């Protein structure tokens, strides 16, 4: 009689055990999917960050490698011919830029760390070229280059007229001597985000 009942189907205990195992398996699978999704999101985030850093470094390397300043660029006569003025956490410089199709010329750039917004920002204003008459973003604008930034440190290496040897400084005005190297160090609020070493020899 017991054999007949067993052959007829599962007992209640066996059904409960089977359902429990299925629920456990489903939980494990869901957890695995969620972990995979989070991992993929993290990979995509890291990839996007690396792309943005690479683009930022490429842009700055080109602009700083081709500095130029026309006479009378600044209102202050003492700084009229400076292609680059630098501080520890900001700098401004003049360089050629192709801002868009048939839009090019000399631009005055300003790079700085916005501590309140945790951003590195870039502003630009065209001082000569094809877009000055038409205006618009090609002639003047501002953009966030990097987000989640806790610090921006800029170093300047070169020879000053009052120094017998070359050396590092956290400020620079190019009339003071020959600027040989500019370095930028960026620190992010997320320690897993990295800024590769950046150094460029300015072309003047």
Reading the block at residue 84, the tokens are 């680059």
Please determine, for residue 44, whether its predicted confidence score (pLDDT) is greater than 60: no
Count of beta carbons in the 10 Å neighbourhood of residue 37: 10
Residue 15's pLDDT band, with cuts at 50, 70 and 90, is confident
Question: Picking from 29-43, 119-133, 146-160, 183-197, which range would have the lowest pLDDT averaged per residue?
Answer: 29-43
Residue 129's pLDDT band, with cuts at 50, 70 and 90, is low
Read off the pLDDT of each residue in 27-52 and give the average, rounded to a whole number. Answer: 61
Instruction: Output the pLDDT for position 51.
Output: 87
Does the pTM surpass 0.85? The reply is no
Rounded Cα gap, residues 155 and 172, in angstroms: 9
Read off the pLDDT of each residue in 39-60 and give the average, rounded to a whole number. Answer: 74
Please determine, for residue 74, whether its predicted confidence score (pLDDT) is greater than 80: no
Provide the CA 138 distance to its chain's centre, in angstroms: 21
pLDDT in tens, 156-174: 998 876 666 788 999 987 5
Instruction: Output the pLDDT for position 156.
Output: 94
Most confidently modeled range among 10-24, 32-46, 65-79, 84-98: 84-98
Q: Is the dihedral of CA 164, 165, 169, 174 positive or negative?
A: positive
Rounded Cα gap, residues 23 and 21, in angstroms: 5
Please determine, for residue 36, whether its predicted confidence score (pLDDT) is greater than 80: no
């Amino acid at each position: 009689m017991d054999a007949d009942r067993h052959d007829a189907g599962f007992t209640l205990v066996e059904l409960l055990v089977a359902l429990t195992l299925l629920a456990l398996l489903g939980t494990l699978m869901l957890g695995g999917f969620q972990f995979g999704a989070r991992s993929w999101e993290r990979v995509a985030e890291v990839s996007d960050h690396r792309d943005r850093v690479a683009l930022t470094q490429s842009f700055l390397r080109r602009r700083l490698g081709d500095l130029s300043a026309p006479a009378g660029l600044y209102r202050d006569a003492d700084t009229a011919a400076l292609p680059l003025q630098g501080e520890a956490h900001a700098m401004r410089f003049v360089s050629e830029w192709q801002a868009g199709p048939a839009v090019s010329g000399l631009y005055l750039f300003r790079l700085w760390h916005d501590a309140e917004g945790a951003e590195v920002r870039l502003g630009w204003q065209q001082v000569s070229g094809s877009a000055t008459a038409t205006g618009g973003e090609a002639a003047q604008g501002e953009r966030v280059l990097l987000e989640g930034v806790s610090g921006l440190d800029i170093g300047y290496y070169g020879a000053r007229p009052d120094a017998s040897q070359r050396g590092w400084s956290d400020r620079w005005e190019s009339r003071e001597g020959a600027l040989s190297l500019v370095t930028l160090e960026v620190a992010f609020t997320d320690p897993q985000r990295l800024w590769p070493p950046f150094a460029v020899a300015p072309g003047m």
